[in-house]
Amino acid sequence: MKPLYLTVTDKHIRYSYEDSDDRSTIDKVYNINAKKTLGDNLDNFKLKLPNDFDVVVILNPIDVELRDTIVSCGNQPIDMGLTMENLLHTPTVGVHDVARLGLKQAASAESEHAGWHLEYYGSYSGKRQYGQESLQTIGNGYFGLRGSYVEAKAGDDYYPGTYVAGVFNQLTTNINNRDIVNEDLVNLPNAQYMTFSIDDGDVFKMTPEMIDNVYRSLDMRTGVFTITMILSLPNGKRLKVITKKVADMKNYHNYSLQYTVQPLNFSGDMRIFSEIDGSVTNTNVERYRSFNGKHLVVDNTKVDGDRAILLAHTKHSGVNIAVGTRIQCPNIVDSELTSNRFQERISQAIAFHVVEGRTYTVEKTVSIYTSLETNSDLEFAVNDHAYHKNFADAVANSMRSWQQIWSNEDIQLSGDITAQKLLRLNEFHATVSAQQHVNQDLDASVGARGLHGEAYRGHIFWDELFILPYYTMHYPQLAKALLMYRYNRLPAAKKYAEANGYKGAMYPWQSGMYGDEQSQSLHLNPITNQWDPDNSRKQRHVSLAIAYNVWNYYNMTEDDDFIKNYGLEMLLNIAKLWISKAEYDPETKKYSINDVMGPDEFHEGYPDRKESGLDNNAYTNIMTSWLFSKVDFLIQKEPEKVVNDNYQRADFTDDNLNDMRNIGKDLKLEFNQDGILGQFEGYFKLKDIDFDYYRRQYGDISRMDRILKSEGDSPDQYQLAKQADALMALYPLKESTFMNILADMGYQIDDPQKFIKDNVNYYLQRTTHGSTLSRIVYSMLALKVNDTELSWKLFYEALTSDYYDIQGGTTAEGIHLGVMGATLNVVTSYFAGVDFRGEELSIDPHFPESWNTLTFNLVFKNAHYYFTVSKDSVTVKADHATDLSFRGKQITLNENEEKTINY
Ligand code: BGC
């Protein structure tokens, strides 16, 4: 092992390592520049380091109890372990752990630990704290419980939200004499609340200043979230408080809390409080706060000894909700429990005597039921509820569940502890957002922000396109349950099409409870603080994403029943929408699809047209042509009876089939003289923009739309994009399919490699990555043109986008589930190169230089595959005899036979 030793003080960092040539010890000092931020100092420090060490050892930790790597640096305590690992992706250990375990053992234990834990040291406030709470959310697909301190009430620094999948409510707010209706994922009663008081003192209220020291650790392997903190009260009393939370992954109505206090310098009387607070409102997103956010009406509060129950309903959607708690005090001998019922809240207090240095624990189990998934009386359901014996039992259950979950979905990576941690974080939150056995009981899909916050009001977008393949790969039945959310809203989608003068089914850009359009018509520009018109609903391509997910699910599972009973009906209806949207121009002999927006939300219309909407968006037209070919294929493939039955249900005719065949091969695309595919018709007439000018003015120009609008200008004038659009179809479609579709449409591409290269270069220069969905798509595109350096850079930015909250505050309002899913997809489908989009799996790795091995499994056409991929080999095994291909070469696998392909 090659260690790098650090001694960190407020003024300098002393570092030493062995010279790689003569093995002498090199000792150096980096002086901390007080005029620069600590972050800048550490970035500079990094540049001074050699690159051939594999463990960092901190020689002078100051707080061994919380973590062996905490130091004082630049006059503030920091966890140098976390910092160095983020900076160098190298395990970082403290000197005490090295003494205890030996260097090698300590390093390998830390690598393992880092790969499984999301941790924060120190107290934060504002959006930063909000963002960390989003990322430390626990849940089980039914509910999401934000990783807030349990002592906190909603305010500017903390937001203890609770959400149940599918529980939405609409409220009306009158703004400037206009009634604005919004449908929100409802923040449910806060039952995680616990706090304390000492002697006759006030009830402790969480503020960042009260926290002396704190470590928050989400253990993704077991699902247990732990907060360890030292509090100093203004009266000089100090205490240690340890909170643990765990969601029940199986009995999904439940979560459990353990609250332990230890008086550090006093004895006396304490009370621990527990609440179910139904007075909560939706206030997670600052810019929505001017809208009405009170969704709940509390109907009743009841207490029965250690049990309490709050019954409520949502104001408009009428969902009944019951939240029950049960309190236990495993190690408090003499305690007195009192309860207070308020109109919207129940508060219970356990009073007991404390002795300095001892620990006292209160445990609480919370159960949540709603009338959406529960047929019986909710109060009865809560009372009848099988609680865990105690918290340890809840933890044991969670560990068992997560062991099972990880054996299905873990991506094990060696060679990069940061990427390992963040890939697991993405998988963890995919599981918090939806689970197979849970979603089978629900009528819900995954929102763009998971069950983690209130941005986009919890709505469901085309982001499903980026996450569903991941679910399909590991839990096909979960993907089906999520597709059923869309199937159940087919009538609403038909209504929406009809209301807009179209046929078939038009899914809304933003979908909530009922499947009607939930996009706002106004959008707040934070630069001007003005509400600008929002035409994003014209992104009709969301229906194509749904169609793609139906097809991909079918291709990966061969679930004929699904296609017969639901899938084909959806596809025929979506196809009818596009048939009815296509218009024939006898002059050009081409079909046009007008009045749409592509994924690039910067372009809402033409500079010289009053109405919004664009003509012939390339992504939309290519995907429409692709959809038509798949629908045609299924009509030919499925038995006549199935086809007839679906024709009837979708009111689809042979004329429609003929239309589809005609339109699909003649949809209009535009190319410039250099072979660049126009994002939409007329794109090349738009002006180029001087990005450098705006970069100098504004620094971050990712939201060029807002910048331009604040200057009275419009992004519609320019060739610029928020995210991948013209080339977006290369994300869901194989390159060969993409080229074939273009050829079918009458646009033969003679040199696909050159075409992709030229187009990637062209559009990259014009894209600001204003959506987290952008970089990951371009990372994949950069791989296609062999720009591995760029691909890696964009991949890492996408991978860390929530961890570093690269949009400057949006993680506060929930995770970005789409980029999380897409990142996982790029890792397995492109880096490891296992492509599931064909008849059989095909493998073509583009393995990152700095990674060693990647191990993962997946389900494809009912067979379980196990892969280990490295820079020069692929090892594969399947539990069924199967065929696959490696870079075009056929490979046959016998059942459970392991084959290694060296490349
Ligand atoms: C992106 C959309 C995305 C939405 C929800 C927007 O910023 O431009 O593509 O669907 O966020 O994640």
CA of 456 to the centre of ligand 1 (A): 9
According to DSSP, residue 830 is labeled: I
Q: Does residue 385 carry a pLDDT above 80? A: no
Atom of ligand 1 nearest to the CA of 816: 12
Q: Which atom of ligand 1 is nearest to the CA of 462?
A: 10
Confidence (pLDDT) at 551: 98
> Token digits for 392?
């340890």
Contact criterion met (CB below 8 Å) for 551 and 482:
no
CA distance 446 to 443: 11
What is the reported pLDDT for 144?
98
Whether residue 738 is predicted with pLDDT greater than 90 in this model: the reply is yes
* Structure confidence at residue 21 (pLDDT): 85
Q: Residue 579: what pLDDT?
A: 98
- Per the listing, tokens 């495993």 go with 330
Ligand 1, CB cutoff 6 Å, lining residues: 448, 456, 461-463, 599, 601, 722-723, 771, 773, 818
Torsion angle, alpha carbons of 673, 676, 680, 684, to 10: -50
The pair of three-digit structure tokens given for residue 527, joined into one six-digit string:
């630069």
Q: Give the three-class secondary structure for 667.
A: strand
**Residue of minimum CA distance from atom 11 in ligand 1:** 771
Kindly give, in sequence order, each residue whose CB lies less than 8 Å from that of residue 628, ignoring residues fewer than 6 positions away. 575, 578, 660, 661, 663, 664
Starting from the edge strand earliest in sequence, which strands make up the sheet with 412-414, in order? 412-414, 853-860, 863-870, 873-878, 898-902
Q: Name the percent of the chain in helix, strand, coil, to the closest 5.
A: 35, 25, 40
Q: In terms of DSSP H, where are the helices of 139-201?
A: none
Two tokens, residue 407: 């054996």
Query: Which atom of ligand 1 has the smallest separation from the CA of 448?
Result: 12
Angle (nearest 5°) at CA 25 between 24 and 27: 145
DSSP 877: E
Distance CA 418, CA 159 (A): 27
Summarize the confidence of residues 134-153 as an average pLDDT. 98
CB 543 within 8 A of CB 602: no
Structure tokens at 75: 């006059």
Residue 731 CA to ligand 1 center (angstroms) comes to: 16
Residue 357 tokens, joined: 């240095």
Token pair recorded at residue 537: 């609903």
What is the pLDDT at residue 522? 80
Mutation pick for ligand 1 pocket among 537, 601, 702 (CB with most ligand atoms within 8 Å): 601
Can you give the three-state secondary structure of 24-44, one letter per residue? CEEEEEEECCCCCCHHHHHHH
CA of 136 to the centre of ligand 1 (A): 22
Tell me the per-residue pLDDT of 881-891, one tens digit each, with 9 for 90 and over: 999 999 999 99
Ligand 1, closest atom to CA 818? 12
Could you tell me the maximum CA-CA distance found in the chain, to the nearest angstrom?
A: 91
Q: Quick one: average pLDDT of 789-795?
A: 97
Residue 62 structure tokens: 């100051």
How confident is the model over 568-584, as a mean pLDDT? 98
Distance CA 32, CA 10 (A): 8
Q: What is the mean pLDDT of residues 797-823?
A: 97
Run of H or E including 80: helix 80-88
Whole-number Å distance between alpha carbons of 760 and 724: 10
DSSP three-state, residue 731: coil
CA 248 to CA 241: how far, in whole Å? 23
Rg (the chain; Cα; Å): 28
Query: What is the C-alpha separation between 377 and 321, in angstroms, rounded?
Result: 10
Centre of ligand 1 to C-alpha 820, Å, is: 13
The residue among 171, 126, 185, 158 whose CA lies nearest residue 451 is 185
260-304: per-residue pLDDT in tens? 999 999 999 999 999 999 999 999 999 999 999 999 999 999 999
Q: How far apart are CA 846 and CA 357, in angstroms?
A: 56
As a whole number, mean pLDDT of residues 412-438 equals 97
Burial of 697 (0-12, 13-18, 19+ CB in 10 A): exposed
Give residue-wise pLDDT tens across range 71-119.
999 888 999 999 999 999 999 999 999 999 999 999 999 999 999 999 9
pLDDT at 527: 81
User: b vs e for 295-328, b when ≥16 Cβ sit within 10 Å of the residue's Cβ?
Assistant: bbebeebbbeebbbbbbbbbbebebbbbbbbbbb
Handedness of CA 294, 298, 301, 307 (dihedral sign): negative
Residue-averaged pLDDT of the chain: 96
Helix axes 542-557, 476-488, angle to 10 degrees: 140
Distance CA 722, CA 708 (A): 13
Tokens of 176: 């400037």
For a mutational test of ligand 1's pocket, the pick from 449, 463, 769, 819, i.e. the residue with the most ligand atoms closer than 8 A to its C-beta, is 463
DSSP run (H or E) holding 111: helix 103-116
Distance CA 364, CA 524 (A): 41
Query: Known catalytic residues?
Result: 601
Could you give the domains of the chain? 3-118 (3.30.420.40), 126-406 (2.70.98.40)
- Counting Cα atoms < 13 Å in the Cβ hemisphere of 811 gives 25
| More confident site: 661 or 389 | 661
pLDDT in tens, 311-363: 999 999 999 999 999 999 999 999 999 999 999 999 999 999 999 999 999 99
Beta strands in 455-547 (DSSP E): 522-525, 530-533
CA of 771 relative to ligand 1 center, distance in Å: 6
Ligand 1 atom closest to the Cα of residue 463 is 10
Percent above pLDDT 90 for the chain: 94
Stretch 684-697: mean pLDDT, rounded?
A: 96
Cα dihedral 720, 724, 725, 726 sign = positive
Both tokens of 293, joined, read 């956010």
- Over residues 63-76, the mean pLDDT reads 88
Q: How far is the CA of 341 from the centre of ligand 1 (A)?
A: 43
**DSSP helix/strand/coil, 781:** helix
Q: In the predicted model, what is the mean pLDDT of residues 864-888?
A: 98
Query: Do the Cβ atoms of 269 and 351 come closer than 8 Å?
Result: yes
